[in-house]
Amino acid sequence: MKLGFIGLGQMGKHIALNLLKSGAELTVIDTRADSFLEFEKRGAKTSTNLLEIVPADIIFLCLPDSNVVHKVLLGENGIIHHLRKGQIIVDFSTIKYSTTLEIAKSLEEKGVKFLDAPVSGMEARAMEGTLTVMCGGKKEVYAEMMPYLECMGTKILYMGDTGSGQLTKLINQLLFDINVAALAEVLPMSVKMGLDPENVGEVVNSGTGKSYASEFFIPRILKDSFVDGYPLKNAYKDLISAAEIGANLCIPMPVLSSATTTYQMALLKGHGEKDKGSMIAVFEDLLGVSYRS
């Protein structure tokens, strides 16, 4: 069995390395060769040429956004023009639901199977191979891919028809996004009222206010570190997707709308390259305080 993997970014690199546990022949593709040596040492083929992936029986993608996935698969120079009947595409990227449906339809017309399988869990879990994988597509394709998915995840769920994986990932991300926006707004208030930042952090992370977001970001904010999480500018795509779905289905989401405003303010302030924890700077500036050790 020949596997192909496109996209060796923060998450993709580790997912691809874990796929080597399957024992299958692996070819990895990226526009940059930074990670190639690590793969070559472990027997994988590497290339910056997208067409080198075409012979693979199963092609995995882990790319930044909808536009990149669409370009790689369906664009003028996309691989769809070279795919053959019976191949399988598995997309680990987090992209728009509408884009996923378009891709699945185009691939089906070529006789190519498709599974949308976005992942949840930060870089550490990608390295450990303990990601959560949410799958959408035909159940028989999901079953066929299970041995490979088990190489990089420990909770692998079949969510339903094509696009269901992306919709489930979106729900999870939106709750996380709201959590981080709440931390950014409320933690500076504690300093404004004269409370000690470290003590407040200990109370939150040992009390009812605790969340994965607070456990991950509070220690890093206290250390003035905003480089460990997903870049804010990339995370914003989830909020765009939610706004589009909410508008189309007439679903009111007042809390999410408020959180989106916080993201927008942080992006306008130039924090897009930093992780979500950097949103706290918006409210620190407004209140004239600093939530640091």
Residues 213-255 have pLDDT tens digits of 999 999 999 999 999 988 999 899 999 999 999 999 999 999 9
pLDDT of residue 209: 96
Q: Which two tokens stand for residue 47?
A: 């290339």
Residues 32-49 have pLDDT tens digits of 999 999 999 999 999 999
Stated pTM of the model:
0.91
pLDDT of residue 12: 97
**Of 79 and 229, the one with more pLDDT:** 79
Please report, as a single letter, which amino acid is at residue 111: G
User: Quick one: 167-287 is in which CATH superfamily?
Assistant: N-(1-d-carboxylethyl)-l-norvaline Dehydrogenase; domain 2 (1.10.1040.10)
Residue 219 CA to residue 41 CA, distance in Å, equals 36
Selecting among 96, 169, 274, 276, the annotated active-site residue is 169
Burial per residue of 153-184, b for 16 or more beta-carbon CB atoms within 10 angstroms, e otherwise? beebebbeebbbbbbbbbeebbebbbbbbbbb
Q: Is 138 exposed, middle or buried (0-12, 13-18, 19+ CB in 10 A)?
A: middle
pLDDT of residue 122: 86
Residues 98-133 have pLDDT tens digits of 999 999 999 999 999 999 999 999 899 999 999 999
Residues 266-289 have pLDDT tens digits of 999 999 999 999 999 999 999 999
Residue 11 CA to residue 31 CA, distance in Å, equals 15
Cβ atoms of 91 and 101 closer than 8 Å: no
pLDDT of residue 248: 93
Query: Taking 90 as the threshold, does the pLDDT of residue 20 lie above it?
Result: yes
Cβ atoms of 188 and 287 closer than 8 Å: yes
Report the CATH architecture of 2-161.
3-Layer(aba) Sandwich (3.40)
Residues 238-249 have pLDDT tens digits of 999 999 999 999
Residue 36 CA to residue 1 CA, distance in Å, equals 21
Q: Is 52 exposed, middle or buried (0-12, 13-18, 19+ CB in 10 A)?
A: middle
19: number of Cβ within 10 Å: 22
Three-state SS for 134? strand
Give the residue extent of every domain in the chain. Answer: 2-161, 167-287
Q: Please give the average per-residue pLDDT across 66-89, as a whole number.
A: 97
pLDDT of residue 229: 86
* 139 noted as active-site residue: no
